Amino acid sequence: MVLSWLPIREDWDSRLLAAKSLATESLGAALRDLATSRMEVSQLSKLDRAFTRAVSASGSELAGLGSIRLAILGSATTSHLPAGIRVAGLRHGLAIEVYEAPYGMYWQELMDTSSGLYSFQPDVILLALDARHLAAAQDATSEAAIDLMRSCWRQARSSFSCQILQQTLLPVFPRLMGNNESRMTHSSATIVDQINQSLRTESETEGVDLLALDTFSAVEGIAAWHEPGIWHRSKHEVHPRATQLYGDQVARLIASARGRSAKCLVLDLDNTLWGGVIGDDGLEGIVLGQGNGIGEAFVDFQRYAKGLTDRGVILAVCSKNDEKNALDPFERHPEMVLKRDHIACFVANWNDKASNLRSIAKTLNIGIDSLVFADDNPVERALIRQELPLVRVPEMPEDPAAYISTISVAGYFEGLRVTDEDKVRSQLYQQNAERTRLMESATDMEGYLHSLRMEMSALSFDNIGLARITQLINKTNQFNLMTERLSEAEVAKRMQDPNFITLQVRLTDRFGDNGIIAILIAAIRGAEADIETWLMSCRVLGRRVEEACLNVMAERCREAGVQRLIGRFRPTEKNGMVRDLYSRLGFTLLAEDPDKNSSWLLDLSAFEPTSVPMKTNTLSGVTV
């Protein structure tokens, strides 16, 4: 089973051999590169071993990889899943340590607090329950299966603050009636369909993320994923040859919950968004729509890209063209689905694409590892893979009719929830680009900030904002003081606890509503409050929002009788920009350890709110 979006590296085996003698800092990157390639079963096995050895030798995290503890609780054989998951984790920038519960013991491990699962203390639990276990028995019902799964989820939730992944059921049963199987109520095949349908609503209610095995296995079909022979021999429901793809799906879900999904699709133009070369063929010569088979494929691809913006993915253009020519189709071609204002950052010049991608990431204020680069030209793809290994570069097929499926099955933008802000994100980035242009012509900073007519509201957390707040806590990497990730349940706890001060900060200005742009959580301990969480969107840097937030936090602290406000900083690879935030805000340094973790103090009895260029509304929200 081929992971078609990954490139083939002809020298894979010799590169693995060479990697083994690298020092730790380069080893992680080299192994990650190898994981981002097509692999045969034996190569997967070799890489998994090399990776596992590297992880245990390096003691703590292998440079740049986040560590995750994943427990697989299965009802049948799970032995070949861990390797696929670990290597996929590596591909997604994670070092996943896997615990496998003993065969069939998912229930016992969850219910017995002295089990291996409890010693392991997972960050993620994967419930891999096979279809026969839940639907084969004579008296099986979908209600009973859902009840069973719900008990597992609730037990997992109350014992661990972990992400729960529930595998949907693989349709392994033969249809006894045929096309209209649903008319036979006690058919196992029908029960599986019913369970899978119920799981869509139940999982959302219970805060569980689905591993949609039923859906993603349908791409190549049940015969590719399941063979009765190996089920009978060794109780493998998922065939070992499919574990690379299974593993990638698991890794995507874990990465998504931790803010590591890609955020921006960067599109080439010629032969990517239309057939032909605009600079040579002109508006009449490019192939787009108009009843032509190839033209229609490009229109469909544009439609797909636009669809991504509806759920919060940003689009950018990176093309080797004169800007005027590149813009022409967007402005004048009747078949263009994508318009100029769907593109948050439009780069058309003759510079190398690696420099352009760096510049796009900088303009949009997102990490270079948030970009996906779609280009029909293998030479450009190879350049980016070499210069910017963290950019995700799908191997584009020769037939444009296959572009959509290649990018969609790659799952770069895996998402768990859509918020209202996601729907307008592309617009927000557009507006922000306008703000940047305005700023460039106004050298008087204070005058400029006032001209933005900013209004900030800082309220306590509420149920309406909960999903978006949780999303921000888990995806913000740069302006993030402690980078503490919290599950929605943990955020809700803080929302309801009177010993916590919570602030969700919204900002509007003359270009529009930026939505929630800062989150602060402080724990009150007597006369002291400790800021455990402070993060801010990079969209509003340089506007003195930090000072405005501090003003509000100080006021809330005083209302609660707090006299000393403590701030903490934990350095990561991405949050260098806030290293001296507390110093700039007038806190004094309390302590700093050799790893540069620091704590700071603000004496509130001496603190005066700073004058800031915005209106602030702090009407207390209702915490229901």
Minimum CB distance to another protein, residue 172 (Å): 17
Minimum CB distance to another protein, residue 83 (Å): 8
Q: Which is nearer to another protein, 46 or 150 (CB)?
A: 46
Minimum CB distance to another protein, residue 234 (Å): 6
- SS3 call for 522: strand
Two tokens at 281?
Answer: 């063929």
Q: Which is nearer to another protein, 40 or 573 (CB)?
A: 40
Q: Which is nearer to another protein, 20 or 324 (CB)?
A: 20
Q: Which is nearer to another protein, 21 or 605 (CB)?
A: 21
Rounded distance between C-alpha atoms, residue 55 and residue 180, angstroms: 51
Q: Which is nearer to another protein, 234 or 436 (CB)?
A: 234
Q: Which is nearer to another protein, 86 or 568 (CB)?
A: 86
Contacts of 567 (CB under 8 A, 6+ apart): 481, 531, 534, 581, 582, 585, 587, 599, 600, 601, 602
Rounded distance between C-alpha atoms, residue 178 and residue 188, angstroms: 13
Q: Residue 572 in contact with residue 483, Cβ under 8 Å?
A: yes
Q: Which is nearer to another protein, 18 or 589 (CB)?
A: 18
Minimum CB distance to another protein, residue 17 (Å): 10
Q: Which is nearer to another protein, 40 or 420 (CB)?
A: 40
Instruction: For residue 591, count other CB atoms closer than 10 A to its CB.
Output: 10
Two tokens at 76?
Answer: 């049948």
The residue among 30, 122, 131, 116 whose CA lies nearest residue 85 is: 122
Two tokens at 184?
Answer: 């036979």
DSSP 480: B
What is the number of alpha carbons within 13 Å of residue 392 lying toward its C-beta?
25
Minimum CB distance to another protein, residue 16 (Å): 10
Q: Residue 450 in contact with residue 613, Cβ under 8 Å?
A: yes
CA torsion sign, 465 to 467 to 470 to 474?
negative
Minimum CB distance to another protein, residue 79 (Å): 5
Minimum CB distance to another protein, residue 477 (Å): 36
How far, in Å, are 101, 156, 511 from residue 308 at the CA level?
38, 33, 23
Minimum CB distance to another protein, residue 295 (Å): 37
Rounded distance between C-alpha atoms, residue 179 and residue 189, angstroms: 11
What is the signed CA dihedral for 568, 574, 579, 585, rounded to 10 degrees? -80
How far does Cα 350 stand from its chain's mean position?
A: 32
Q: Which is nearer to another protein, 232 or 437 (CB)?
A: 232
* Contact residues: another protein, CB under 8 A: 40-43, 45-46, 49, 79-80, 229-230, 232-234, 236, 239-241
Phi, psi angle pair for 277, to nearest 5°:
-120, 115
Contacts of 43 (CB under 8 A, 6+ apart): 12, 13, 16
Two tokens at 374?
Answer: 């779609």
Q: Which is nearer to another protein, 14 or 588 (CB)?
A: 14
Q: Which is nearer to another protein, 43 or 155 (CB)?
A: 43
Q: What is the CA radius of gyration of the chain?
A: 26
Minimum CB distance to another protein, residue 352 (Å): 38
Instruction: For residue 185, count other CB atoms closer than 10 A to its CB.
Output: 9
Minimum CB distance to another protein, residue 232 (Å): 7
How far, in Å, are 520, 550, 553 from residue 565 at the CA level?
13, 10, 9
Minimum CB distance to another protein, residue 47 (Å): 10
The residue among 475, 555, 539 whose CA lies nearest residue 547 is: 555
Minimum CB distance to another protein, residue 57 (Å): 15
Q: Which is nearer to another protein, 86 or 236 (CB)?
A: 236
